[in-house]
Amino acid sequence: VWKHIQQILREYINIRSYNTWFAPIEAIDMDDQHLVLGVPNRFFCEWIDNHYAKVLNNAIVQVLGEHRKIKYQIKNDSLPESPYHPTDLQPAAPQLNKISFSNTVNNSPFYTRINERYTFDNFVVGDGNNFAYAAARAVADSPGRTNYNPLIVYGGTGLGKTHLIQAIGNYALSKYPMTKVYYTSSETFTSHFINAIQQNKISEFSAYYRSCDILLLDDIHFFRNKGKTQEEFFHTFNDLHQNGKQIVLTSDRPINELMDLEERLISRFKWGLIVDVQPPDFETRLAILRKKCDESDLDIPGDVLEYLAANLVENVRELEGALTKIMAQVTFTAAEPTLELARQIVNEIAPPDKKMLTIETIVEYTAKVFNLSSDHLRAKTRKKDVVRARQVAMYLAKQMTNHSLITIGLHFGGRDHSTVIHGINTIEELLRRDANLRNQIESMKKHLTYQK
Ligand code: ADP
Ligand code: MG
């Protein structure tokens, strides 16, 4: 029965989400009221209830013809026995607070403070980072007691790696205040190590890093070409791992591409779970901007936010940079947060020659080629020549950008994705028999490629 339900689910959700959330689940028991599912950790229950309750219920009804209540059973029993006993993780006692805890750790010369600003609550989850987010939540929930050890987060710069791993630390600290959480960049680790060698304090250095419960080590690509440091880290790693302590690492490239990292280090990394963070899509970028505006009480019109989300596509840091600039302008020069201001700021952050091709550019250019205005393409009109131009622009947007059909639809006056599919199909069909159109589109593509 569960196999059958899984099959239906696979049709309804994208394959990545399916593999993340439903592939690892087994059905454990079923009676005429309940379906008991075995999940890898508590976070699954929460996530599925919040995101997939409807789809799952529908699939159950489709297969069984009637409803079943879902119960979860956490499959942690299958994990190897960890020497890191649950009793080590005392739940939050009210009289203990983070401050007193941080102070004790702070006495150490090595400690880098974990930034309380980085939490799960203010991390926006989208398609590009939901797996990484889920894994981070699971690890924060039961440090050292999931199969995700080490957990490695990799991805381009400004995509939230540092935010995520510090969020693990903050969450774990709020749940288990006695946990020793060390956050450090690999660069700091390296310079501590070099200092330790120079001052003959290697044993203190090792003792320090071996004394934590959770080690959050940022940017391990920095270890490339640093043989001695790698060696030291290798021993620290083994020691922590053997004692069931949680290790979380980040890297700006996939682990197997960290060629200069020692082979044995890399093979250790494969014991755990490696997850990536991808650049956010349009909807996620917009959600991030909205969240940051809320947080800093910034009141920016919707179309300005959409403009920023449509044009700053590389990473989250750019989005934050844009908001900071707008905030400065608004506060210090009493400027209004207008589209014009947004255009200026986008040009400063992502100058046109480096900018990715946007749907907006495609719309404007296509309108020009067809002697129309870009508003025509966004308007409701069904006039034949406008419809054709609109379809060409949709086709180009699909071919030349990474935006989803939904996003493309939004740029054409909020048309839904089936309209976009229809438009694209129509053009593809025409291209097969209409040589003129083929030439025209080819030359438009060339032009747009250089326009970026
Ligand atoms: P990385 O370490 O991958 O280079 P950071 O974690 O430093 O990236 O992220 C850059 C900035 O963007 C940080 O201020 C971070 O808070 C913010 N950020 C990144 N991803 C998200 C997200 N999904 N939601 C909210 N803020 C984010
Ligand atoms: Mg970082």
CATH of residue 317: 1.10.8.60
To the question of whether residue 162 is assigned a binding role by annotation, the answer is yes
Ligand nearest to the CA of residue 130, numbered in listed order: 1
Of 310, 327, 349, the residue that ends a domain is: 349
Which residue, by CA, sits nearest to atom 20 of ligand 1? Answer: 160
Quickly count: other Cβ atoms within 10 Å of residue 423's Cβ.
Answer: 25
**Do 414 and 367 share a domain, yes or no?**
yes
3-state secondary structure at position 382: coil
Q: pLDDT, tens digit, for every residue of 3-60? A: 889 888 887 777 767 877 888 888 888 888 889 998 877 667 877 887 788 888 888 8
Q: Is 285 in the pocket of ligand 1 (CB under 6 A)?
A: no
Number of structural domains, the chain? Answer: 4
Per-residue confidence in pLDDT tens, the chain, 452 aa: 888 898 888 877 777 678 778 888 888 888 888 899 988 776 678 778 877 888 888 888 888 888 888 888 877 543 433 333 333 444 433 333 232 233 334 444 455 578 999 999 999 999 899 999 999 999 999 999 888 999 999 999 999 999 999 999 999 999 988 889 999 999 989 988 999 999 998 998 999 899 999 999 999 999 988 889 999 999 999 999 999 999 999 999 888 777 778 888 888 888 899 999 999 988 999 999 999 999 988 899 998 999 899 889 889 999 999 999 998 888 888 888 998 899 899 988 887 666 678 888 899 999 999 999 989 999 988 899 999 999 999 999 999 887 888 889 888 988 888 999 999 999 999 999 999 999 999 999 888 876 54
Mutation to probe ligand 1, out of 222, 317, 323 (largest number of atoms < 8 A from CB): 317
Q: Which ligand is nearest to the CA of 277?
A: 1
Q: What is the pLDDT of residue 403?
A: 82
Q: Are residues 294 and 375 in the same domain?
A: no
Residue 277, pLDDT score: 94
The b-or-e profile of 399-413 (16+ CB within 10 A means b, else e) is: ebbebbbebbbbbbe
Ligand 1 and 252: CB distance under 6 A: no
Quote the CA–CA distance of 160 and 6 in Å, as a whole number. Answer: 31
Do 30 and 115 lie in one domain? The reply is no
CB of 158 shorter than 6 A to ligand 1: yes
Considering the domain architecture, whether residues 176 and 138 belong to the same structural domain is answered as: yes
Residue type, 301: P
CA distance 149 to 155: 18
**Measured distance CA(136)–CA(151) in Å, rounded:** 8
Residue 308 CA, ligand 2 centroid: distance in Å? 23
Q: What is the dihedral of CA 355, 359, 361, 366, to 10 degrees?
A: 150
Q: Are residues 341 and 379 in the same domain?
A: no
Helix 435-451 × helix 359-369 angle, to 10°: 130
Is 94 a domain residue? no
Q: For residues 134 and 173, what is the distance between their CA atoms, to the nearest angstrom? A: 18
How remote is the CA of residue 157 from the centroid of ligand 2, in Å? 7
Residues shown for the chain: 452
Least distant ligand from the CA of 161: 1
- Single out the residue in 349, 372, 396 at which a domain terminates: 349
Binding site membership of 409 for ligand 1 (Cβ less than 6 Å): no
Ligand 1: nearest atom to the Cα of 155? 3
Q: Tell whether 152 and 255 lie within a shared domain.
A: yes
Same domain, 304 and 383: no
Same domain membership, residue 23 and residue 125: no
258 in a domain, yes or no?
A: yes
Instruction: Give the closest residue (by CA) to ligand 1 atom 21.
Output: 160
Concatenated DSSP letters of 272-340: SEEEEE----HHHHHHHHHHHHHHTT----HHHHHHHHHH--S-HHHHHHHHHHHHHHHHHH-----HH
Q: Which residue in the block uniquely carries the two structure tokens 């007193």? A: 100
Output the pLDDT for position 88: 42
CATH code of the domain containing 267: 3.40.50.300
339 and 401 in a common domain:
no
Q: What strands, in cross-sheet order, belong to the sheet with 273-277? A: 181-185, 214-218, 246-251, 151-155, 273-277
Is 365 a domain residue?
A: yes
For residue 34, give the CATH number of its domain: 3.30.300.180
> Which residue is closest in CA terms to ligand 1's atom 23?
124
123 pocket-lining for ligand 1 (C-beta < 6 Å): yes
Ligand 1, residue 166: give the atom nearest the CA: 6
Order of strands across the sheet that contains 69-74: 26-30, 34-39, 69-74
Ligand 1 pocket member 38 (CB < 6 A) = no
Q: Do 324 and 376 have their domain in common?
A: no
Tokens 């996530």 -> residue: 47
**What's the confidence (pLDDT) of residue 38?**
87
Show which of 231, 246, 277 is a domain's final residue: 277
Structural domain includes residue 97: no
82 lies in some domain: no
160 is known to lie in a ligand binding site:
yes
Residues 365 and 340 in one domain: no
Kindly provide the residue ranges of all beta strands, DSSP E only, lying in 68-167, ordered along the sequence: 69-74, 151-155
Q: Are 287 and 407 in contact (CB under 8 A)?
A: no
Task: Give domain status of residue 198, yes or no.
Answer: yes
- Tell me if 302 is assigned to some domain: yes
- Asked, for residue 89, whether it belongs to a domain, the answer is no
Q: What pLDDT does residue 103 have?
A: 33
The response to whether 272 counts as a known ligand-binding position is no
In the reported structure, the alpha carbon of residue 319 is separated from the centroid of ligand 1 by a whole-number distance in angstroms of 10
Which domain, by its residues, includes 441?
A: 359-451
Residues 264 and 290 in one domain: no
Task: Report the candidate in 386, 387, 399, 373 with the shortest Cα–Cα distance to residue 426.
Answer: 387
Q: What is the pLDDT of residue 352?
A: 66
Rg over alpha carbons for the chain, rounded to the nearest Å, is 26
Answer yes or no: is the C-beta of 229 below 6 A from any ligand 1 atom.
no
Q: Is 158 marked as binding a ligand? A: yes
